[in-house]
Amino acid sequence: MFFVREMHKVRVELGAASYDIFIGENLLPEISDFVRAQNFSHKALVISDENVGKIYGERTLAALRKAGLEPELHIVPAGEASKSLVVADDIFTHAIELGLDRRSPVFALGGGVVGDLAGFIAAAYMRGVPFVQLPTSLLAQVDSSVGGKVAVNHRLGKNLIGAFYQPAAVFADLATFATLPEREIRTGLGEIIKYGIIFDADFFAALEDHAADALRLSHDAALFMVERSCEIKAEVVAKDEKEGGLRRILNYGHTIAHAIEKETGYARYNHGEAVAIGSLGAAYISEALGMIDDADVLRVRRLTERLGLPLFAEGCTVEGLYAAIFHDKKTVDGKVNWVLMEGIGKVCVRDDVPESTVRTAMARCLKS
């Protein structure tokens, strides 16, 4: 079995911008208590998508009303296409029409797309309003809701328009996993594998030993994975909030992943699925450079496969992927900053990877 600890708060230490991640089940009372303790204006905006909103929208609004707010629900279409300036403009208009002021909170109720979009709204509206993350997907709870990266996409690349803007709190309610489709569980596991690769070899080994529990998202496995992932990310973000150094390790697998998403129109692969393929690509590069051996690559590949994640990308070409990486945020002055493996649990950043090595690794990621 996984080693399970009692539910508790994970603190993200960022001085005046510090906040807590609350992890547990059925957290609406805790959300109400938190809101009562804040100096929020009464008017509030809850942003959700058409799938999550119809399940959790009304009960969330009721909890916020109980805390003294006057919340309005704004629904966006489900999917990556909603992370756009067009959709953001509609939300800004709604916020202005509602009369939201600088102390009016914005709540992100949903997965990673909703969290990124709502955070971007909160960061930009009136130069910044309070922001609370209510993540409902596994991926959002273990990754995108924590750390303050908020953004929308541009037609030339993913997350190119955004900010670092920390939430006031994150409420990771494990009860929302009961309504997650199986594919959404797998896409979250794509990010969870990453944490083992970059930071914690024991965590990676636990996933190997209990892959079946992880895949069916048993209560013990869910609590363990969410808590440990948040602990790792909180530690990294506390040391490097705005990605000047250490935080770059969180981008492991994401350079190729973002290229895959762009090349497939943000429609074929969920983010965590693309990250799983991109993580393998980074492992192939690491192996080619003599940084790891084939045994480490095989462990990553086997765990990826056991957790139901794709090993290959369809609908892409090496030419398209290679061109796309130069529109990625991790490319600076024409050089791509690759996060590469030095072993399970340890990575480094390099900008000296030969083009031929990258192209060969990309080819290994494509369905032949």
Catalytic residues: 127, 149, 191, 233, 243, 247, 251, 254, 258, 271
Tell me which DSSP letter residue 102 carries. Answer: T
Q: How far apart are CA 168 and CA 170, in angstroms?
A: 7
In the Cβ-directed half-sphere of 15, how many Cα atoms lie within 13 Å? 3
Neighbours of 8 (CB within 10 A): 12
Residues 6+ away with beta carbon under 8 Å from 92: 121, 124, 125
> In this structure, what token pair is assigned to residue 36?
């009562």
* Interhelix angle 201-209/294-306, nearest 10 degrees: 50
> In this structure, what token pair is assigned to residue 286?
């690491």
Task: Judge residue 278's burial from the number of C-beta atoms within 10 Å of its C-beta, 0-12 exposed, 13-18 middle, 19 or more buried.
Answer: buried
Task: Judge residue 275's burial from the number of C-beta atoms within 10 Å of its C-beta, 0-12 exposed, 13-18 middle, 19 or more buried.
Answer: buried
Task: Judge residue 15's burial from the number of C-beta atoms within 10 Å of its C-beta, 0-12 exposed, 13-18 middle, 19 or more buried.
Answer: exposed
